[in-house]
Amino acid sequence: MRFIDTLTLSVRNLWRRKLRTTLTIIGVMIGTCAIVVMISLGLAMNKNFMEQLSQMGNIMQIQVYNWNAGGMTPDGKKIEPLNDAKIAEFSRMEGVEGATPIMEINLKMVVGKYVGWAYILGIDPDVFEMLDIPISVGRGLTSEDTDHMVVGQYIRYNLYNPRSSRWDPAPEDLDLMEEKVTLSWDMNYGEKPYPGMPKTTKKVKPVAVEVVGMVAESGGQYDYSIIMPLETVKKYKKEQDKFNQQQESGGGITFAVSRNGSRSSGENQGYNQAIVKVKDIDSVKKVMDQIKNMGYEVYSPIQILEQMQQQSAGLRQILGGIGITAFIIAAIGIANTMYMSIYERTREIGIIKVIGARLRDIRRIFLMEAGWIGIFGGVFGIGLSLLASMALNKFKINLGGQIMWMPEAEGMMSSYIPPWLMLAGAGFSFLASLLAGLLPARRAMKLSVMKALRQE
């Protein structure tokens, strides 16, 4: 038999039993919808986990802390200082895109008539873009910058008017990029000492700085920080240490305290913190383990992701099991339909064999019938699953209470069906239907011609 004849015959046979064929297709449709929707719930959980973690920090960035300085590594080696040489070693690791030390320092900042504390992070400007720091206005740091800064959205909350008799914070619309900004390591700079406040014994000249960019709201440490070139912050740190020593020798009291940005003013003594950027998410865990084996403490949002996935793994397996069970039931329905068709068409099968149909032609007819059921059931099932997904997302249906993490905030999904899942669902439906029709097709092939022809 020609392929086109086999194809036409399979369609005609299905059309002869419209109701039974329709009910079988509906069963496959429901099974396909169930398995796709169940998988989509797990995908939505993972997607929401990633979106939440991205607000906590870049998931491919590793925070490195040298809290164990002077101690020993797990294999008995001395923990080395977190200096520039060690940062360069991090950069050369397989899977690492780049690394930068972090130097932290607190200074006094004056913006127009407002003053406040400035928490400054010094980083290598060459890797600023690598850190994926979101910029809302202006630009990021470049290698040409010196006394330039990128300012977090909430820095203005540190500013107040010292000349006011009451608390007078900086206004919400204060544009730091348009104002004159200065920094000083003298904590009395910009305001008169209040009664009882120790006075500085030596005046220092403030440094004029330029705000070149504003950090977009990210929910991380950059919102409350000022980012400046590392070498500039090192210079400020040396001046701050020098000023503090003069204050101590002159009988004054030191107010400016570095937040452990580095041990002493020299980078050779080591930093307390660094950031390592990894090229892809699959390499994060491996790089973290390498750095941890050197004796340093590490942190990445991926650790929280692993905990979330472990907590939800059982529920995702249950959801997947429900979907697979529904599809198995649908496959049984296909097999039942095919067996019933064989019993009803036994004489027809015998006649086809007598007129010269080969066994593979018989098998092809029944496999095609099963395949058509799988195709139509899969396509309609994908359409039904998209409607179900839309309903879940629209009404924010929480299917698991406190066990299953489901989004409540706007933009978070309850169900997520990517294109590959639609193709996989339709393909799985087709293949599963072929498998379900395989045994009935073999049964039809083995029918005796003589018995088939005597069948009424």
Burial of 447 (0-12, 13-18, 19+ CB in 10 A): middle
User: Beta strand 273-278 with 148-151: parallel, antiparallel or unpaired?
Assistant: unpaired
**Distance, first Cα to last Cα, the chain:** 25
* DSSP code for 346: H
What phi and psi values does residue 111 have, to the nearest 5 degrees?
Answer: -125, 105
Mind giving me the DSSP string for 359-399? HHHHHHHHHHHHHHHHHHHHHHHHHHHHHHHHHHHHHT--S
DSSP label at 216? P
pLDDT at 70: 63
> Is 381 within 8 Å of 36 (Cβ atoms)?
yes
CA atoms of 36 and 404, how far apart (whole Å): 18
* 443, 342 contact by CB (below 8 A): yes
CA-CA distances (angstroms) from residue 284 to 280, 298, 306?
7, 11, 12
Could you tell me if 180 and 162 are in contact, meaning their C-beta atoms sit under 8 angstroms apart?
no
Token readout for 88 is 């360069």
What does DSSP assign to residue 200?
A: P
Cα gap 223→231, rounded to integer Å: 22
In this prediction, residue 196 carries a pLDDT of 62
pLDDT of 267: 44
**Residue 259 confidence (pLDDT):** 45
Phi-psi region of 303 (alpha: psi -120 to 50; beta: other; left: phi over 0): alpha
The residues with which 148 forms a beta bridge, in sequence order, are 210
The most distant pair of C-alpha atoms in the chain lies apart, rounded to whole Å, by 120
pLDDT the model gives residue 449? 63
**Is the distance from CB of 304 to CB of 63 less than 8 angstroms?**
no
Instruction: Express each pLDDT in 151-208 by its tens digit.
Output: 998 898 899 998 887 888 999 888 899 999 999 988 888 887 666 656 666 778 899 9
- In which residue are the tokens 């409540």 written? 408
CA 262 – CA 83 distance, rounded (Å) = 9
- The pLDDT, as a whole number, for residue 260 is 47
The one-letter amino acid at 259: R
CA distance 125 to 143: 5
Reported pTM: 0.64
Regions of the chain short of the pLDDT cut 70: 1, 52-57, 69-70, 74, 193-201, 248-269, 305-306, 308-313, 316, 343-351, 353-357, 398-411, 447-456
Let me know: does 96 contact 280? Beta carbons within 8 Å.
Answer: no
Q: How far apart are CA 289 and CA 64, in angstroms?
A: 11
- Burial category of 137 from C-beta neighbours within 10 Å (exposed 0-12, middle 13-18, buried 19 and up): middle
* Residue carrying structure tokens 């400035």: 118
Query: Which parts of 142-205 are beta strand (E)?
Result: 148-151, 181-184
